[in-house]
Amino acid sequence: MKITLFGAGGKMGQRLTRNLKKSNFNVDYVELNQKNRETLWSSFHVEATESAQNINESDFVILAVPDTLLAQIGNSLIPSFKPGATVFVLDPAVAYANKLQLRNDINIFISHPCHPPVINDEVDEKAKYDFFGGVYAKQPIVNCMYHGDDSIYPVAESIAKVMYGPVTRSHRVSVEHFALLEPGLVETISSTFLVSIKEAMDHLVAQGIDGKCIHDFLMGHLNIQIAVIFGYLDIQFSDAANKAVENARNKLLKESWMDILSKKEIEESVKQIIS
């Protein structure tokens, strides 16, 4: 089995290179940028080529490129893939938007890391601070067989587990559900709420409260709030805390805020991401 990692010297490409290099897979590394090729050699002793001319020999082609370029690059390469080859993409957006060229004789597989969970069992210092995952900290992954031969799924999943390892769990979803997870849940909703929390922190600093005090107070409360809300502890918020939530909810959120996860809104979000 031959694998090509296209974009091996980019941000995500280097993360995947680190793990694929340690595997038993036969991997070709392709990187168009000379400086990035030099980084691959100096950091991982990986000799990457600037040419994708041998990509027609690969069984799996991992496209480690930005969402904004994925359709353009993927569609320029797909015609040269051999029958039975699998396109391996790292994000659902372009596939969800139907921007990837489909061939009846190739497969398209999507895989994305969940990243290490906030509440985890890591004890090693390096793993504790591996926030992104894929180096020291364990993380789950999510996959989708978007197009093609379903029998390819277990093989593609095994590659994903190496790419993102160490992996604790592997989930399978449809591309529609994938888009609800990202961008829907984790970018549109979670990131927006967290940015707003950070803005509230900055506002309190402007009110004269010491920044370290705010940080300590918030981080500790987030820890217990996550544990309570997501069921890690079998306890409830205090009556006062529940009243605060009830009083603030309508001021912070429109009644129709969940519409942000509607098909129309997800499609618009994806359109913006890949444009």
pLDDT digits (tens, 9 = 90+) for 1-41: 999 999 999 999 999 999 999 999 999 999 999 999 999 99
In this structure, the chain runs to a length of 275
- pLDDT tens digits along 148-191: 999 999 999 999 999 999 999 999 999 999 999 999 999 999 99
- 3-state SS class at 81: coil
Domain ranges of the chain: 2-173, 180-274
- pLDDT tens digits along 42-56: 999 999 999 888 899
| Residue 109: strand pairing partners | 88, 145
Q: How far is CA 166 from CA 16, 87, 109, in A?
A: 12, 23, 20
Q: How confident is the model at residue 59 (pLDDT cuts 50, 70, 90)?
A: very high
DSSP state of 182: I
pLDDT at 82: 97
Q: Provide the pairing of β-strand 139-147 with 167-172.
A: parallel
Domain 180-274 in this protein, CATH class:
mainly alpha
Please report, rounded to a whole number, the percentage of residues in the chain having pLDDT higher than 70: 100
Beta strands in the chain (DSSP E): 2-6, 26-30, 60-63, 86-89, 107-113, 139-147, 167-172
Task: Determine the topology of domain 2-173 in CATH.
Answer: Rossmann fold (3.40.50)
- For residue 216, the Cα-to-chain-centroid distance in whole angstroms is 28
Unique residue bearing structure tokens 């587990």: 161
- pLDDT tens digits along 126-138: 999 999 999 999 9
Give me the phi and psi of 113, to 5 degrees please.
Answer: -75, 150
Give Cβ neighbours of residue 80 (< 8 Å, ≥ 6 apart): 55, 56
Over residues 111-136, mean pLDDT: 97
Beta strands in 52-154 (DSSP E): 60-63, 86-89, 107-113, 139-147
pLDDT at 53: 83
